[in-house]
Structures are given as C-alpha cells and as structure tokens.
C-alpha cells in the first residue's frame, strides 16, 4: 500500500493543523509516511498545501500523482485535480459543489460547514475533516482523540472532541487499506528538528541567529527547549551579529552554532574569514532557498553550493557537508561539531527548505552513537603559550582563555606570528597559510564517500546531493525494475570532495547524469573541476519546487 494525499487551502484555513493531526495519527497507527509542504510567504491567503505519502513500506520522498485530495477551497480542486489518479477521491465541503466545474463521481461532498455551524464554531472545519478521514482510512479513533488532547486545551478541546465525533459520523466511502504490521517505535520529525537535536547531543551551549525562513525552525526548536537543555538561544539583531556572537562564544570555549538562509548567509561571509584566520571552530547552518536577493523565501533550491565553497575574501580551509534526510541531520550535525574542534576550522552544514519542512517516520535517534570530542588542552609545560604554534603541524594546541593560570591566549584577524601578534613578514605569511590550508589534506581521511544506490558498476550513473537522496533512491529502484543498468551516487560531504567511489563508478558508465535543484549544475561543475569527469546530461530543476520521483524517472528516459 502506497497512498498519496494532498490537503490544500488558503493560509489560515487550518490545513496545517489537519496535516499535523493526520500525520501523527498515521504514524501512531504504524504507517510509514513522508510529508512535504508548499506554502506562500504570507500570513493569510494564497494557495498552500501539504502532501502526505503513507504506506506499509518505508517511504523516502514525495510523489506527484495523487490518490486523495482534501480541498478547503475551489482553488485546491482546480490546481490539483489533474494529478488525481483515475480511481482517486476528492473530499470537499458541500458548499463548493455549485462553483465546482465538472463535478464527478470521485468527489465526496461533505456537509462540513453545516456541521461546523451546528457546533457553533466555523474554525473546527479541520477537525471535522480529521474525523471523516480517520473513518475513511479506518484509523484508530482512540488515537485521534488522544491527539486532540495534545493540541487543544480546555473549552477548545471539548469543542474539537465534538467536531471529531461529528466528522466520524459522516457518510464517507471506506478506502481499501492494508493494515500495517507493528513497526516498532518510530519518530516523526523533519531535518531542521534533527539538526537542533544533533547539536544538543553534541553539547551545544549557545545558538545565535536572526529569523530567516526556512532556517528559523532550528532557532524556534532550540528556544522552546533552552531551559530544559540548559543552553542559551540569542535572537540577534542581524546575521552579522549572529555569527560574531557564535564566534565569540566558541573562542571562549562553549560549543556554539549559528544558522541562516539565503541572503543571511551572504551577510555572514566576512566573519567566515575571521573564523578561518583565527582558527576558531565554528558550525554554520545554511538552509537553502531560491535566490538571488529575497528570491522565493518559502521554497526550495540547491543553488548556494558554488558560493559557499569560496565565500569569504582570501583563502580559508572549510568543510562543506549537506543533509540528505531527517535521520542523517542528527548524526551529521553532531559530527560537524567534533570535526570543527578537531581541526579548529569552519564547518558549513547545508540543508534546504524541502527537507526542513518535510516530516518523515524514522527510527529514534541513538544518542549513544554521539560522542563529544573537544580537543582542548588542559595543561602546557612551556612558559609562553603560542596559540598558532607551527611546530605541531597544521593543528596548534588550543587552550581556553583564562583557564590555565599564566597562559595568555592571543588571537588576531590580521596575519600573525605563532604567539598571535600582528606581522607583515612574508616568511611567516607563507608558513601560516600553509599551516591553515594544510588542514584540508588532513581532513580528507575523515570524508564520507557518497552513498551508492542501485548498481555499483552501472551503465547509467546518476549524481546528486542533499535532498534529492530520497527521490534518487526510489527512482533508481523503479528504473532497475525496467532492466536498466543504473546506479546513483548521493553526495553528503561536498568539500573537500570525496572522489574514490565517483572515479570507480564513472569509469564504466556510458552516461553520467547530474540531478540537481539549480540552473547551472553546481555539483557537476565541482566534479569536473576536481576530477575532470564530465556529466553527459543534466536533469535540473529550479522553479522552487522539489524534483519528484516521476520527474527523475521521466528525465532519465528522455536522455536515453
């Protein structure tokens, strides 16, 4: 069983609440699910929708074709009915019948507004739909009632309980469902929440940011839990202040992180160089959205990679790594903190709006797999402490200011000598540049090769990164069933670029196709720069909407 349901309406109509209730209910009824959101950057109005794909097998991505539509307004019917399968159903209010063209047998008109009026509150429309859908999909009513107690309080709870019962009593067609087996404990989570939890597991103590969609939910999650976690979350006046606060906190010895999106990352670039020059560990999260300028604030793209690889004046070492799903978000964030401190360098963690707002059922995070490795010296024999000592190779001993009596920590954004004093010596400049940039060679041993999906010696090789992981995985499985020799490499670590698997698989491939969410094929350019390997074709999407399973499958067939 693999169903795809869309809930659509205007901002403020309650589709967010219905989506939450339905997703949680499906999860607790032991279904796997993957949901994603499409919303406009306005408080009220506009056309928004949530897609929930659920079934009895693990699900990694969204699909275009729909089995069900829940329409809060006429626009939803008009915009999405062409994607409804032949035997699909549209659930909508009776009041929409008059203005709905081509009323068909697959439309299930329900007296939602009338029922809400009888209950004395028009705002319970979403809970009425929830009750009807719970009945149609044979979901446990007890679980549905339990969920209401988690969302609503006091009088509002009692009202919604009555709405749930009223919706459940309405006449709806019974949808054929496969009863799921017990899949054990699963959590329903998105990647921004995973990043926040991974940071907490890694010992995050300070997070500073300026609100910017779609990164803001990281700050919101941490702020909501800061007392329980014993951390400080600071909403800065802008992104320049946010990154400098995080830098200062890290210099002082606490684990710190900052996060932003789009133009916010652009504002941070001067301080990226400061982190590089002072060799201060720092984790920066950039949740990508389409640019340039304000672009599409609430939509998705993978177009910041080329910029991030060189962002900052001058040359600094950095690591760039990208989230591929909610599960990885937790572990990769924790790893970023350890690597940043081990190499005393900048680690940029990439995500994008699609994954930031996509909920997925995954196994609970294993905090036992996370270690907190600080790489901070607690004692030194030398009389004078040299923060940028050269004799130790590329990594100098790091102590925290004020923690060892008699040892002074000097740091400077100018070029400096081993002690941290300003210098204009050409000889020292070369030594310090070699010291800093040499960290990249050391980092190569820590890199994770891209994940191989499908054939390991394919004739058709797909290349992708980040949020296309799920769609690539399912697309390869579909195309393999059509007897194609096909495999894919999904990159997580991007800089330094791991190339071992790439060179192995590219050697025998007749076609190499990059699948990316940007106009210029930024991963393909990076690969060509680092290896000389050229992609034969590209499947690129840059309209602000995530590439779907169907689009990858059809895109591959078009180039064959």
Q: pLDDT, tens digit, for every residue of 501-551? A: 999 999 999 999 999 999 999 999 999 999 999 999 999 999 999 999 999
Residue 455 and residue 507 in one domain: yes
Q: Is 540 exposed, middle or buried (0-12, 13-18, 19+ CB in 10 A)?
A: middle
What domain range includes position 395?
Answer: 376-446
> Considering the domain boundaries, does residue 531 fall inside one?
yes
Using a cut of 0.85, tell me whether the model's pTM lies above it: yes
> Considering the domain boundaries, does residue 181 fall inside one?
no
| The pLDDT of residue 155 | 84
What percent of the chain is modeled with pLDDT above 70? Answer: 100
Return the residue matching tokens 């830098």: 247
CATH number of the domain where residue 95 is located: 3.40.920.10
43 pLDDT above the threshold of 80: no
Residue 35 and residue 155 in one domain: yes
pLDDT band at 105 (very low <50, low <70, confident <90, very high): confident
| The pLDDT of residue 231 | 98
Query: In this structure, are residues 265 and 238 in contact, taking their beta carbons and an 8 Å threshold?
Result: no
Residue 220 and residue 99 in one domain: no
Residue 193 and residue 342 in one domain: yes
- Distance separating alpha carbons of residues 431 and 410, to the nearest angstrom: 18
Tokens coding 501: 């698997």
Residue 518 and residue 458 in one domain: yes
> Considering the domain boundaries, does residue 553 fall inside one?
yes
Domain count, the chain: 4
> Considering the domain boundaries, does residue 163 fall inside one?
yes
Tokens coding 390: 């050269």
> Considering the domain boundaries, does residue 183 fall inside one?
no
CATH number of the domain where residue 480 is located: 3.40.50.920
Q: Which of 246, 292, 233, 301 is nearest to 266 (CA)?
A: 292
Per DSSP bridges, beta strands 486-491 and 32-38 are unpaired
| The pLDDT of residue 101 | 80
| The pLDDT of residue 42 | 82
44 pLDDT above the threshold of 80: no
| The pLDDT of residue 355 | 98
- Distance separating alpha carbons of residues 81 and 124, to the nearest angstrom: 25
- Distance separating alpha carbons of residues 377 and 253, to the nearest angstrom: 11
On average, the pLDDT of the chain sits at 96
Angle at 115 between CA 113 and CA 121, to 5 degrees: 75
| The pLDDT of residue 154 | 84
383 pLDDT above the threshold of 90: no
Q: pLDDT, tens digit, for every residue of 416-440? A: 999 999 999 999 999 999 999 999 9
Residue 343 and residue 327 in one domain: yes
Looking at 446, 461, 476, which one is the last position of a domain? Answer: 446
Give the mean pLDDT of 228-241. 98
Looking at 139, 169, 199, which one is the last position of a domain? Answer: 169
pLDDT band at 99 (very low <50, low <70, confident <90, very high): confident
Phi, psi of 10 (to 5 degrees): -90, 155
Residue 246 and residue 342 in one domain: yes
Phi, psi of 34 (to 5 degrees): -140, 125
Residue 10 and residue 157 in one domain: yes
- Distance separating alpha carbons of residues 402 and 408, to the nearest angstrom: 7
Q: pLDDT, tens digit, for every residue of 333-372? A: 999 999 999 999 999 999 999 999 999 999 999 999 999 9
- Distance separating alpha carbons of residues 157 and 165, to the nearest angstrom: 12
Give the mean pLDDT of 271-293. 98
Query: In this structure, are residues 27 and 361 in contact, taking their beta carbons and an 8 Å threshold?
Result: yes
Residue 14 and residue 153 in one domain: yes
Q: pLDDT, tens digit, for every residue of 193-205? A: 999 999 999 999 9
Give the mean pLDDT of 447-460. 98
> Considering the domain boundaries, does residue 457 fall inside one?
yes
> Considering the domain boundaries, does residue 175 fall inside one?
no
Q: Which of 194, 147, 174, 164 is nearest to 29 (CA)?
A: 147
CATH number of the domain where residue 288 is located: 3.40.50.970
Secondary structure class of 242 (helix, strand, coil): helix
| The pLDDT of residue 373 | 97
32 pLDDT above the threshold of 90: yes
> Considering the domain boundaries, does residue 176 fall inside one?
no
248 pLDDT above the threshold of 90: yes
Of 40-44, 222-226, 506-510, the range with the lowest mean pLDDT is 40-44
Helix-helix angle 500-508:522-531, to 10 degrees: 90
| The pLDDT of residue 380 | 84
More confident residue, 383 or 211: 211
Bridge partners of 451, per DSSP, are: 490
Residue 387 and residue 519 in one domain: no
- Distance separating alpha carbons of residues 38 and 6, to the nearest angstrom: 11
Residue 461 and residue 405 in one domain: no
Strand 84-93: give its sheet, edge to edge: 107-110, 84-93, 66-71, 2-11, 45-55, 32-38, 359-362, 187-189
Looking at 369, 392, 426, which one is the last position of a domain? Answer: 369
| The pLDDT of residue 46 | 87
Residue 24 and residue 95 in one domain: yes
């Amino acid at each position: 069983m693999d169903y795809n349901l869309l809930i659509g309406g205007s901002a403020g109509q309650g589709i967010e609440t219905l989506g939450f209730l339905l997703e949680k209910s499906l999860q607790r009824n032991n279904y796997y699910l993957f949901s994603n959101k499409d919303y406009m950057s306005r408080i009220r109005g506009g056309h928004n929708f949530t897609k929930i794909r659920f079934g009895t097998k693990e699900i990694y991505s969204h699909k275009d074709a729909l089995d069900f539509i829940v329409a809060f307004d006429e626009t939803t019917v008009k915009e999405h009915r062409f994607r409804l399968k032949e035997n699909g159903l549209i659930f909508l209010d009776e009041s929409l019948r008059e203005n709905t063209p081509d009323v068909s047998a697959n439309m299930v008109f329900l007296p939602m507004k009338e029922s809400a009026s009888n209950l004395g509150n028009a705002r319970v429309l979403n809970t009425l739909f929830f009750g009807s859908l719970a009945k149609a999909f044979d979901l446990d009513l007890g679980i549905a009632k339990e969920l209401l107690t988690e969302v609503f309080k006091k009088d509002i709870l009692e009202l919604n309980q009555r709405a749930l019962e009223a919706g459940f009593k309405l006449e709806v067609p019974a949808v054929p469902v496969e009863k799921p087996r017990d899949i054990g404990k699963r959590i329903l989570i998105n990647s921004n929440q995973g990043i926040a939890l991974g940071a907490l597991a890694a010992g995050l103590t300070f997070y500073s940011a300026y609100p910017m969609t779609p990164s803001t939910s990281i700050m919101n999650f941490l702020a909501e839990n800061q007392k329980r976690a014993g951390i400080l979350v600071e909403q800065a006046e802008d992104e320049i202040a946010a990154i400098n606060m995080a830098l200062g906190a890290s210099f002082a010895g606490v684990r710190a992180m900052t996060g932003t999106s789009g133009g916010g990352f652009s504002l941070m670039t001067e301080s990226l160089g400061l982190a590089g020059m002072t060799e201060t560990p720092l984790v920066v999260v950039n949740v990508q959205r389409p640019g340039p300028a304000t672009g599409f604030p609430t939509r998705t793209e993978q177009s910041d990679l080329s910029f991030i690889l060189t962002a900052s004046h001058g040359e600094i070492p950095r690591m760039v790594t990208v989230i591929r799903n909610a599960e990885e978000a937790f572990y990769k964030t924790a790893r970023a903190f350890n690597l940043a401190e081990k190499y005393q360098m900048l680690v940029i963690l990439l995500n994008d709006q699609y994954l930031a707002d996509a909920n997925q059922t995954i196994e609970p995070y294993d905090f036992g797999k996370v270690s907190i490795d600080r790489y901070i010296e607690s004692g030194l024999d030398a009389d004078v402490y040299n923060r940028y000592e050269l004799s130790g190779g590329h990594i100098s001993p790091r102590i925290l200011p004020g923690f060892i009596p008699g040892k002074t920590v000097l740091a400077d954004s100018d070029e400096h000598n081993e002690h941290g004093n300003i210098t204009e010596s050409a000889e020292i400049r070369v030594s310090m540049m070699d010291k800093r940039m040499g960290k990249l060679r050391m980092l190569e041993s820590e890199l994770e090769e891209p994940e191989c999906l499908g054939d390991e010696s394919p004739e058709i090789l797909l290349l992708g990164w980040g949020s296309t992981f799920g769609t690539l995985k399912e697309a390869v499985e579909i195309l393999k069933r059509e007897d194609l020799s096909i495999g894919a490499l999904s990159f997580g670590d991007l800089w330094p670029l791991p190339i071992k698997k790439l060179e192995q698989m590219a050697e025998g491939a007749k076609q190499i196709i990059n699948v990316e969410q940007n106009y210029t094929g930024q991963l393909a350019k990076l690969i060509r720069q680092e290896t000389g390997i050229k992609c034969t074709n590209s499947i690129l999407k840059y309209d602000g909407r995530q590439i779907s399973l169907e689009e990858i499958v059809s895109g591959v067939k078009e180039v064959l």
